Amino acid sequence: MRSAVETTSPRFGEAGHWGKEVRSDVHVAFEARDSGGVEISLESRVSPYYGSAILEQTREVLGELGVKHARVAIHDEGALPFVIAARIEAAAGRAGVALGKTSLPKHVPLPAPSPKDRLRRSRLYLPGSEPKYYINASLHAPDAIILDLEDSVHRGEKDAARILVRNTLRAVDFGSCERMVRINQLPLGLEDLAEVVGQSPDLILIPKTEEPEQVREVDRMIGEIKARHGVVRPIWIMPIIESALGIENAFAVATASENVAALTIGLEDYTADLGVVKTAEGRESQYARARLVNAARAAGVQAIDSVFTDVADMDGLSRWGEASRAAGFEGMGCIHPGQIRVVHEAFQPTADEIARAREVVAAFEEAQSKGLAVVSLGSKMIDPPVVQRALKLVERAKAMGVIS
């Protein structure tokens, strides 16, 4: 039972951002009350066009949250409806009301489920507290977008970001991009899962993975939530290895669940763990990256590289990407849309490689049609692994749009 002081003092919560520099976000100040109904004030840079729509939406959201008495002050900077809903819900939650209740925005159709070994050359990081980046992210055509709840979100903003990311997965059309979410380290990450898994993300990244048990725990949790929400499409897992111990356990991590689709590496934390300086050439992480590629391939999953942090250095990015592909990685992270094209070019097979692979594939098809078990090209016999590799390369090149 609450004390008298608690019930009469205002219960206050706020969420979101406003100000001259802010775009596409909204700030909601929520004061829970015990009587007097709902009182809403609105200031918005788009009020001539959407003022009444925002007020109407606010009343709807409050209704769904079961809020009957409150004062809500809204400063809107052109936020889209899914952001407005998320901010109101977060502010109410922080005021200590409507806990356990949600207000979900309209659903856009889900993209086709993601194949386990789909093309993952690039994943564009979108901070979980910056809604302005979401709506146009797919225009830059990365293979994946990644809604980040971990490092790009301030510790005090995790609850609000979680709600925003949940709404984003539901309401934003990311086109043909794979929709990834990076959760927080466990156990905080489990709370993230509870919020987002119901909205069918295609893949979950687990940061600071060191032990297979961490993967199994996440996998179990995803399975439970999927069952509860009736989600049947796959949700893949990409553990991020970011420590010396993680590298030692890479194979065990990669094989911890059949839902692991790829392994990736976080070089900032890894080099910190080693106590070495991270350089642009990356010699200090050569062993770890080679070990990770080997573990991933041994487990039959993709190896995906870290990010390149200097967004102005496109030549450096290009060199990094080419070296990365040569080392066996199939993609890397992007922290700016401008990096995507360079990364795609770096991870694209060369014209020579494609021509050679097509010759092999043609020879293989000819052998098939003649019912021959042995594939030969000119005077040389082609081993089955070479054929397999050529088939995969041609298929990938098609997916990349390099050949038709």
Partner 1 sequence: MKAGASEKVELAHNAAGRAVPTMVNGKPQIPFLGTGKYQPRGRKVAPAICSTKDYPDSGDKRVADLETALRKCGLRDGMVISNHHHLRDGDKVALMALEAAARIGIKDLLWFPSASFPSQKGAIELMEKGVIHHIEGSMIGPLGDYCTQGKMRGMGVLRSHGGRYQAIQDGEIHIDVAVIAAPTADFFGNADGSHGKSACGSLGFALADSTYADRVIVVTDNLVSFPCVPWQIQGNNVDYVVEVESIGDAAKIVSGTTQITRSPDRLVIAELVAKFLRAAGIMKNGFSFQAGAGGIALAFVEYLKQLMKEDGVKARFVRGGSTKFLVELLREGLTDYILDGQTFDLDGVNSIAHDPRHVATSPFTSYNYHGKGNFASLVDAAVLGATEVDVNFNANTVTHSDGRLLHGIGGWQNCLFAGCTILAVPSFRDRIPVIVDEVTTMTGPGEMVDVVVTERGIAINPRRTDLLDAVKGSKLPVRPIQDIKAEVEKICGKPARPKLGARPCAVVKWVDGTVLDTVWQVG
Which positions lie near partner 1, rule CB under 8 A? Answer: 23-24, 45-46, 48-53, 77-81, 135-136, 139-140, 336-338
Toward partner 1, which CB reaches closer, 41 or 52? 52
- CB 48 to partner 1: min, Å: 4
Specify the residue, 46 or 227, whose C-beta has the smaller distance to partner 1: 46
Q: Which residues contact 358 (CB under 8 A, 6 or more apart)?
A: 390, 394, 403
Helix axes 158-171, 81-94, angle to 10 degrees: 150
The least distance separating partner 1 from the CB of residue 114, rounded to whole angstroms, comes to 23
Q: What is the token pair recorded at 139?
A: 């225009």
Compute the least distance from the CB of residue 73 to partner 1, in Å: 19
Least distance CB 80 / partner 1 (angstroms): 6
**165/363 with CB nearer partner 1:** 165
- d(C-alpha 192, C-alpha 16), whole Å: 18
CB of 77 to partner 1, least distance (A): 7
User: Closest approach of Cβ 149 to partner 1, in Å?
Assistant: 22
Nearer to partner 1, 54 or 203 (CB): 54
Choose between 23 and 94: whose C-beta lies nearer to partner 1: 23
Give every CB contact of residue 127 below 8 A, 6+ residues apart in sequence.
133, 148, 152, 153
Q: Any idea which residue has 């009301």 for tokens?
A: 97
**Smallest separation (angstroms) from partner 1 to the CB of 22:** 10
User: Between residues 24 and 185, which has the closer beta carbon with respect to partner 1?
Assistant: 24
Cβ closer to partner 1: 137 or 204? Answer: 137
Please say which residue, 131 or 201, places its beta carbon nearer to partner 1: 131
In angstroms, what is the minimal distance from the CB of 337 to partner 1?
A: 4
Nearer to partner 1, 135 or 252 (CB): 135
Q: How far is the CB of 202 from partner 1 (least distance, A)?
A: 21
